[in-house]
Structure 1
Amino acid sequence: MSLEQQLIERLNLLQPEHLQVMNESAGHGGYFPGKESHFKVIVVSEQFVGLRLVQRHQKVYAAAAELMTPGKIHALAIHAYVPEEWQGQAPDSPICANAPKST
């Protein structure tokens, strides 16, 4: 099972109303086809109600803990919302300084 699929499986434990997992590895240095190291997640869940942003992130990291080890997920951009906050779109990820240069 791919890291992306494993991450989706673990984040489903948060009972999201909306979940998006994007593999952004291609935008980072050292990329090769099939690499899975950098992900962006959008999670909308009632489980975040009453939690500060850092607490929401902690819940996401706790769900993904086994995958956040050397040789697996290197970076995880988290956008965690309660249903009332979700506007249907999360901010774009910044461009990595070590991203492969297009010619």
Structure 2
Amino acid sequence: MSTVSAEIERRLAALQPVHLEVRNDSDRHRGHAGHDGTGESHFTVRIVSEAFAGKNRVQRQRAVYAALGDLMDRIHALAIAAAAPGEPLPER
């Protein structure tokens, strides 16, 4: 696991997820804008947390961004699939 992936997991633990997947998609973006050559620029997060109950998609994404904080300065692209327990997790 990359250092950025590990830090994403560590910081998203604040949302107390019951399910969390972090996928590094950087290799699929080699040569594209934002690919910085580190192999740690593009990620997908799939997360299920009670913290998302009653929140819309934008509020859920904002909660993820808030949990990641300044780490977003190192991430060019982040795809987020977020759900509350009992809801289907959107595909990403």
- What TM-score do you get using the length of structure 1 for normalisation? 0.77
Percent identical across equivalent pairs?
Answer: 45
In structure 1, runs of 5+ residues without a counterpart are 93-103
Higher helix proportion, which one?
2
Alignment RMSD, CA only? 1.9
- The residue type equivalent to 1:76 in the other structure is L
- 2:84 paired with 1:82: yes
Q: How does 1:13-52 map onto structure 2 within 5 Å?
A: 13-30=14-31, 35-52=39-56
Structure 2 distance, partners of 1:22, 1:78, is 11
Aligned residues: 88
Structure 2 distance, partners of 1:12, 1:34, is 24
**Deviation readout 1:30-80 (Å, 9 max, x if unpaired):** 3588510000000100000011110000000001121111xx111100000
In structure 2, the residue matched to 1:100 is none
- The residue type equivalent to 1:6 in the other structure is E
Q: Which has the larger radius of gyration?
A: 1
- The residue type equivalent to 2:4 in the other structure is L
